[in-house]
Structure 1
């Protein structure tokens, strides 16, 4: 039970922090691509969507190259601040953030694009600043789509395996998340532990998907219609 509790606690912490990171970055980038026109916009959209279709092990390899002691970012962090992200729970957060990012970014962009620009323009005519328009008009109209994306991202981060295993490894009580604990339990022949972990992950993901489905913009529009 201690192993299950430790893996569950770590998974919740990693998924929660990864979702928070994606909330800030995904919403900002989604708003930028929804509202601004610039050369290479769709190419940037494609690149940022790659984690959704790219094998997690490939993403993990890229992160190792970037964050490892021989990588330009990892080497700089190590030499300058003495920070090592490989085989740490912080590395697991980064891996989960990268993998789940498109699940926040894409719904956020779609939600912002669905906001009626006339309402934003009316607020500007009334003297509301751009920040005021964002906080008082755009976000209140787009929040359901953004929240649905956040729930999906949390579920994806909870179940992340490939990239997390390559970047953070499988260290009990330190970097061993639920999905990695399932793999280790199966390898060790601990079927009872594996069954419990699988049940926890399945129930959590089903609950999140049901909540996300109720918040989906399409279903909301259908109800309102």
Structure 2
């Protein structure tokens, strides 16, 4: 490691190391079937309910000190989504069912591929590895338990357990401190331009690697140093960095 320009790699979790979007899609389809059979809804209305839930999830701002658990908040998302789409009938028991089916199905289908596990095992022989993920602490810890990937990392930092999350420079500085390295020693790997790439760039890392699964074009003021469709191409990127 001492002769390497790169000493540490910071990885995002969702849609970088694990396919959270795919698992979420499976979970949403199963929950949609529950709604369809329970309420006798047509496909369009079911789709509307699910899209409303996804939008609430995307806009979610959870305060763990507010007196409600993340589970209660997300049951509320389902209850509101059903009421907004089909009317004001009492839906709390169904919302509880929807939430737990969606949550448990998503966790069930989350996995880290054998190829990714092999990659992390290989990289850890040369580099320090840290997992840096945004999100509520309970939710992300449940994902880590479901996937069983803690063993691959020298440290794990979950944004919801700290005052600030990505792209704040403070959480990147925390990561550097945990690994005993400087920003210039690190590469950040993630799928979000706004949080992973922008945050790491502002924190002064050596290089950023954007996981672009969809083939989209980066936009905004911050451009990744490297773009790949899968984390499995990271060894080739690291070789390029070392040759610079």
Q: Which TM-score band applies after superposition, normalised by the shorter structure?
A: 0.3 to 0.5
Q: Compare relative contact order (CA 8 Å, sep 6+) and give the higher one, 1 or 2.
A: 1
| TM-score normalized with structure 2 length | 0.31
Bigger strand fraction: 2
| TM-score normalized with structure 1 length | 0.33
